[in-house]
Structure 1
Amino acid sequence: MPLHGHTAGSSLLEWLLPALVLPAAAGAYLLLAHRARRRNPALGWSPWRTTGFLTGSALLGAALLPPVAPFAHEDFRGHMAQHMLIGMYAPLAFVLAAPVTLLLRTLPAARGRQLTAVLHSPPARVIAHPAVALALSTASLAVLYFTPLYNAIMSNPAAHWLLHAHFLLSGCLFAHAIAGPDPAPYRPGVRARLVYLGVAIAAHAVISQMMYGGFWVDIHAPVSQVQAGAEIMYYGGDVAELLLAAALVATWRPEPRRSATRDSASARETATATRVGEQGAA
């Protein structure tokens, strides 16, 4: 049985929206990348980042368009495959595309300063923290699948779209907090981010195993579909999190050694004091 009723007209509208919005977003990114290369030919813009944004758009389109979208409306396995694409794979590709850096390179100076001020604001610091991103992207899954919330959302198309938006935005937040190349002035160190990533991996494993075993699950779907969806979540989540770990390693840059900085400052102070002393003696 379908998870929720959809008329042909409403389904067509749901598919038409991403079919129009995603190509427009990809075109806007390509235009900004071209502008960045034209403004600073020496610095340019990485084709890998452009490929990342186009890949994210393609993954999101695959999740929101046929054949995955109608399958997700009728089968829990389709829902879970859709969840993996929207909440884990597409966000990683979008984040690696460094859209904020691209905006900072192409916006007028005044607009760039405004965006930088927003990034440094207290609300942005809280939202971008890995703990908050982890709660939004991973802990919320327990609320979704172990309460009546999932069944209520599936019976309401508008709520279903809000769920898609939550998956995408929370996934982008977590990927950015862990391995994003965009500016993150208050991001924790690599060791702390690895801990948060490990917690996410463990949480996904526990939730999917409980779902497979039928513990506290409140999903109106055949048991075989729920178990298959749990397997998709378990193995698909592992692959996505391994990719995120690889992205963390690839984007990691060693921080300047504080001891060396302190030693250099101390040496400068000593030299200044020596010169002052010599001048006084003379």
Structure 2
Amino acid sequence: MTGLAVLALLAAGALYVAAGWRTPWPVRRTTSWLTGLAAAGAGGVLSTAHGDLRTHMAGHLLLGMVAPLLLVLAAPVTLALRSLPVGAARRLARLLRTPPLRWASDPLVAVPVNAAGLWLLYGTGLHAAAVHRPALGVLVALHVLVSGYLATAAVLAVDPAPHRRGVGVRAAALAAGAAAHDVLAKWLYAAPLPGVAHAAEGARLMWDGGTVVTLVVAAVLWRRWYTSRAAVRAADRVLDRPPGAALPVDPLGARPVP
């Protein structure tokens, strides 16, 4: 890992802690953010072992699945909207509604892009090229982290996002992404990459590790859906509304009125 990457991780941790210090914020989310940065750092180091697929794949699992999950659960966008001055928070909200970020936060875009990046890396000569080009390896690692974060964020929808997809669509996207990941792992097991050690073990780690993290993401998605449904049912009982009735909307159309 380059010194610039270490500085970037430290800066991300310091900014998050400072923002959480200025506003009431759960310690568990701060812990999740810092742990996610640590996982990203460890994954960045391990992923440079291009000649040992087992070690390299451990790094990519940390970088592309474990770290993104922990970072998404930290809800950094929500923290930014709460801690920034009003003007800056409004500018950030407008930025989130721009077409590029709306596309990036769509699970039907983010999940396929994440899966396609892995197939491009291991299905072409890109992995071998990164061995001799450290700068290319850094770009690949950055892509793995960012695309993994965007895909996980699009599925879990922890932070506010415009035009959020329903839970059924997000669950289907998660299942499709997991299938693409598993097929790639089987392909790497049946046709090992040339010139790498522990190819079979690396492919098996990709399969097993990816399955575990995907199940955790699915469990978090189900829990968030169940909790939201429980909150709606509780509101129905308090306000004596028929179950499932739509919430009234305020005159400005900003948000439902409880």
Tell whether 2:58 aligns with 1:81. Answer: yes
Which structure's CA Rg is the greater one?
Answer: 1
Query: Quick check: 1:48 aligned with 2:28?
Result: yes
Distance 1:259 1:60 in 2: 41
* Partner residue of 1:221 out of 195, 216, 236: 195
Match of 1:25 in 2: 12
Q: Secondary structure at the match of 1:261?
A: coil
Q: Which moved more, 1:248-257 or 1:139-148?
A: 248-257
Equivalent of 1:232, from 205, 208, 230? 205
Select which of 218, 225, 240 maps to 1:245: 218
On the 8 A contact 1:136/1:170 being kept in 2, the answer is yes
Structure 2: runs of 5+ lacking an equivalent: 233-241, 250-258
Local SS of the residue matching 2:8 = helix
What's 2:97 paired with? Answer: 120
Deviations 1:162-183 (A, max 9, x none): 0011000000001100113100
Shift of 1:102: 0.5
* Partners of 1:123 and 1:69 in 2: CA distance: 29
The residue number in structure 2 matching 1:150 is 127
- 2:119 is paired with a residue of what secondary structure? helix
The 1:205/1:73 distance shift into structure 2, 3 A limit, reads closer
Per-residue CA deviations over 1:118-163 (Å, capped at 9, x if unaligned) read 1112221111111211122112222221112221222211110000
TM-score by length of 1: 0.78
Structure 1 residue identity aligned to 2:245:
A
Q: Is the 1:76–1:225 contact (alpha carbons within 8 Å) kept by the matching residues of 2?
A: yes
**Contact 2:40–2:67, Cα closer than 8 Å, also in 1:** yes
In the alignment, what sits opposite 1:10? none
User: In structure 1, what is the Cα distance between the partners aligned to 2:159 and 2:245?
Assistant: 27
TM-score, with structure 2 as normaliser = 0.84
Runs of 5+ consecutive residues of structure 1 not aligned to the other structure: 1-13, 37-43, 266-282
Q: Name the counterpart of 1:40.
A: none
Task: Calculate percent identity across the aligned residue pairs.
Answer: 40
For 1:202 and 1:261, the matched residues in 2 are separated by: 35
SS at match of 1:114: helix
Question: Alpha carbon RMSD of aligned pairs, Å?
Answer: 2.2
Q: Could you report, residue by residue, the CA deviation over 1:225-257 in whole angstroms, capped at 9, with x for unpaired residues?
A: 221111111001001111111221233323969
Letter in 2 for 1:249: W
| Aligned: 1:168 with 2:118 | no
